[in-house]
Amino acid sequence: MNQKRNSIFAIVMMLLSGSALALSSDSEQPIYIDSDSQNLDMKTNTVIFTGNVFLRQGSIRLKAEKVVVTRPTGTEGSEIIDAYGKPATFQQTMDDGKKIDGKAFDLRYEVGKSFLTMTKDAVLMQEGGNQIEGQKITYNIDKQLLNAESDNSSRVTTILQPQTKQEKN
């Protein structure tokens, strides 16, 4: 049983290698995933984690009800990580030491494209109170391009906090 569990763990870690929601050195850290259950489909290169899923890699923390990791082409670096929750949440410490928090009902990270998509009541918050809310927020990590969109029933909201005197000096 232990040997089988270790081989499944090795396959999961191989499938997950890459920079899951990572910036800077986080992508060089091991990924740990805890969940109530997991299912691996070797034919489709898919791992499904369900029930109180908690993923951590370096400073990254992700909490969700369900996480699906797929390697569509079977090659490392092509992984797609989908997280679902009410909402799913993540946090990461940036290179400048500030934390960024996000939440949405659906999160998708395309490792090969370094592209994050947050949908259904998406919110991105930066330590210090700056915040963006929309029905869909996309972020191209490599190009540092962020786009927020609304739907017919809502608008995009951005909150920018003023700098304090201490921050200006």
pLDDT tens for 53-86 read 998 888 888 899 999 999 887 777 778 899 999 9
CA dihedral 126, 65, 67, 111 (to 10 degrees): -10
- pLDDT given at position 167: 57
Nearest in space to 22 (alpha carbons), one of 81, 103, 87, 86:
81
pTM of the model: 0.77
Q: Rounded mean pLDDT of 33-59?
A: 92
Phi/psi for 81 (5° steps) reads -115, 115
Q: Fill in the DSSP letter of residue 24.
A: G
